[in-house]
Amino acid sequence: MTNDSYGITVSRNIIDRQRSHPEATGDLSGLLSELIVAAKTISAEVNMAGLGDFMGMVGTTNIQGEKVQKLDDFANSAIKRRMARCGFVSVMASEEEADAIPVVEGYEGKYTLAFDPMDGSSNIDVNVSVGTIFSIHRAINGGSPNAENDLLQPGRKQVAAGYIIYGSSTMLVYTTGEGVHGFTLDPTVGEFYLSHPDIKMPARGKYFSVNEGNTIYWKDEMSRYVEFVKQADKGSGRPYSARYIGSLVADFHRNLITGGVFLYPSDTKNPNKPAGKLRLLYEAAPLAFIAEQAGGRAITDDGREIMDIEPDCLHQRVPLIIGSRDDVDIAEGFFTGKR
Ligand code: P6P
């Protein structure tokens, strides 16, 4: 933590950001503040999961066809409950819910909220970092309640995005389009303090992050790119080191801080999921907003910018190549046949 940022709480940072926009009504500040309260609640449970009754599964399967972990359920409820009556949101989408989530009547606000309440939750029982990811848009129908299409907006139109990573410490990383800022939770006082002001992702990294267990399901271009980063070439820092945690927020956060590229490409593993595993609305688009704000980039494996994709449904899956700009540019060369 640098001296001039010592003791700046996230609430102070949000208010300072609001002050720089005279037209601001304070609703976005209020929304972020409420979301942060939910995050603190989740953090307390994640850190005690081994001692409470939060290990293991609920016994149901969600819309994604994934087994619901107890902490998935807790985190989803904690966010829904708090945001449904905060007065700043008109409609929500959650990775855990098939349909759009209405807010409490009379509490409709002017923003939409899409979130993955507990990404990487299958790692909870083995004490690997997990995270919450969120994406905020302005409601296009003037906040008419439960307007699902208010949620189906491209990442380019996000007004804010971020994640909370529950790891060796709990960190909040967010952007409102004016850079990326990281805050570390001091659990003794329950405050997030500015610890990583104006984060910039190194233009080129030394890590590649991919599940090579899927190699047989990849397109040839993907296999050729992975072989490329494994070749020895001192001038370009190759071979890269492999780092794959299997928790998107943790893999992304490492690359944000140290540089590197994460890839979850389309594959033939599951005919129902030709676009790969990750979701656009509450995983790829918010992380793409953060990546671009930190100087990085996020594309699909067929040359599209993640931020430009018009969603066609709440749980749309997209291939994701995200991280240091030079690394994503090189990967794009393989996917578009230029390399
Ligand atoms: P695989 C976790 O289940 C998740 O959604 C992301 O957090 C992670 O990046 C990915 O799936 C891991 O998927 O197929 O490599 O286990």
Statement to judge: residues 61 and 15 lie in one domain:
yes
Q: Tell me, what's the pLDDT at 1?
A: 44
CATH code assigned at 79: 3.30.540.10
Instruction: Give 80's contacts (C-beta < 8 A, 6+ positions apart).
Output: 92, 94, 101
Ligand 1: residue of 67, 116, 119 to mutate (most ligand atoms within 8 A of CB) is 119
- Tell whether pTM > 0.85: yes
Length of the chain: 339
Ligand 1: residue of 215, 249, 264 to mutate (most ligand atoms within 8 A of CB) is 264
Statement to judge: residues 29 and 93 lie in one domain:
yes
The residue among 142, 169, 196 that closes a domain is 196
Q: Is 175 helix (H, G, I), strand (E, B) or coil?
A: strand
Maximum distance among all alpha carbons in the chain? 62
Residue 320 lies in a domain: yes
Statement to judge: residues 177 and 305 lie in one domain:
no
Show the tokens assigned to 280.
Answer: 């656009």
Tally of domains in the chain? 2
CA 252 to CA 234: how far, in whole Å? 25
> Domain residues for 110?
10-196
Taking a C-beta distance cutoff of 8 angstroms, is the pair 68, 103 a contact? no
Residue 91 amino acid letter: V
What value, to the nearest 5°, has the Cα angle with vertex 299 and ends 151 and 169?
Answer: 75
Look at residues 140, 210, 183 and name the one whose alpha carbon lies nearest to residue 33: 183
Instruction: Give 297's contacts (C-beta < 8 A, 6+ positions apart).
Output: 291, 305, 322, 323, 324, 325, 328, 329
Q: List C-alpha distances in Å: 321 to 50, 102, 165, 291.
A: 33, 32, 20, 11
Render each residue's pLDDT in the chain as its tens digit; 339 residues.
445 556 899 999 999 999 999 998 999 999 999 999 999 999 998 887 666 666 667 778 777 777 777 889 999 999 999 999 999 999 999 999 999 999 999 999 999 999 999 999 888 889 999 999 999 999 997 666 668 899 999 999 999 999 999 999 999 999 999 999 999 999 999 999 999 999 999 999 999 999 999 999 999 999 999 999 999 999 999 999 999 999 999 999 999 999 999 999 999 998 888 888 999 999 999 999 999 999 999 999 998 999 999 999 999 999 999 999 999 999 999 999 999
Statement to judge: residues 20 and 150 lie in one domain:
yes
The closest residue, in CA terms, to atom 13 on ligand 1 is 246
Side-chain half-sphere exposure of 19, counting CA atoms within 13 A: 6
Statement to judge: residues 237 and 327 lie in one domain:
yes
The residue among 142, 162, 196 that closes a domain is 196
